[in-house]
Amino acid sequence: MTNEQIIFEQSLKLMEDGILGTTGRELEFEMEDGTTKFLPEPEPIHTFKVWKELGFCVKRGEKAIASFQIWKHYPACKKIDKNTGDMIDVAEKMFLTNAFFSRSLRFSLFFLKHRV
């Protein structure tokens, strides 16, 4: 499963539990038996880092609405071998880590003012 699939499934569960709202749009799914199913689209959730990259800032005292595991990528790098002093390649890794998610209502848009 990709992170997008994990986050989407978790946001559907949060919406069913009443923790997360909807956007007002519906998503159309084609099931394995060929039938079509419509589900309301859950509002977006992201980690603090992603909200910050999108230009939002967290309000003081706000907490995450959910915590679940997603994949974290550890890129390949080079390390020095302690015994020989040679550079060795370290393969990239993927591992599961806990992430904390918030919805957009808990954040406010933050504009940076540039001084000329």
Over residues 42-101, the pLDDT tens digits come to: 988 888 888 888 888 777 777 888 999 998 888 777 777 778 877 777 777 888 989 888
Burial class (CB in 10 A: 0-12, 13-18, 19+), 93: exposed
Cα 60 versus chain centre, distance: 21
Specify the length of the chain in residues: 116
**Residue (of 45, 90, 51, 91) closest to 70 by Cα position:** 45
- Condensed to tens digits (0 to 9), the pLDDT of residues 8-46 reads 999 999 999 998 888 899 999 898 999 999 999 998 888
pTM (2 decimals)? Answer: 0.70
Torsion of CA 39, 40, 43, 44, to 10 degrees: 30
